Amino acid sequence: MINSRFISFEGGEGSGKSTQIKLLAKKLSKKRKVIITREPGGTKDAEKIRNLIVKDKNQKWSGTVETMLLFAARKDHIDKVIMPNLKKGYWVLCDRYIDSTMAYQGYGKKVDLKMINSLNKILINNLVPSVTFLLDIDPRTGLSRSKRKGNNDLRYENMHISFHRKVRSSFLKIAKINKSRIKIIDAGQDKNKISENIWKILGKSKRI
């Protein structure tokens, strides 16, 4: 199930997703109704799950348990935020979505991909964005950006560089499989140049 007003942003730590979402929302909001949201999170209860996943550096859950928590948060997010706003005519810009689960938990933590696909079908009716922007960046560069003062969600940042390299290669693999939906953007460029590229892609796709 695809909605033309549903757009997601993906990428490793420090890839600039939040910045680009804000820049796109500013452009779109001149003529359209727009909301920005994120995963895990987006609702009061889903944010509680987010805190469990991204802040507790001593957490020892398996990849499978982590995946189930992510889908619990996603289901609540879709039911309370994403679908209601899409039905009201809003553009929904989401910081991370299903591709992050595939990259981080599926490929990164070796969770059964068939299980993730089944959960997508059963819990969220295979709801996917019309376009996903993958902000690709070298993990070391991204991590140096992400470990900034004031960022308290550092559980993933503190994982070994080899994990982040695996996540990056996994994102690129996912993009190759879904090349009609996922657009790879060089996140090492100037933020305004990246924003221009994203706007051009949306224009060419006739989504705006």
pLDDT tens for each residue of the chain, 208 residues long: 678 999 999 999 999 999 999 999 999 999 999 999 999 999 999 999 998 888 766 667 899 999 999 999 999 999 999 999 999 999 999 999 999 999 999 999 999 999 999 999 999 999 999 999 999 999 999 888 887 656 666 677 778 899 999 999 999 999 999 999 999 999 999 999 999 999 999 998 766 6
Please state the separation of Cα 162 from the chain's center in Å: 20
pTM for the full model? 0.93
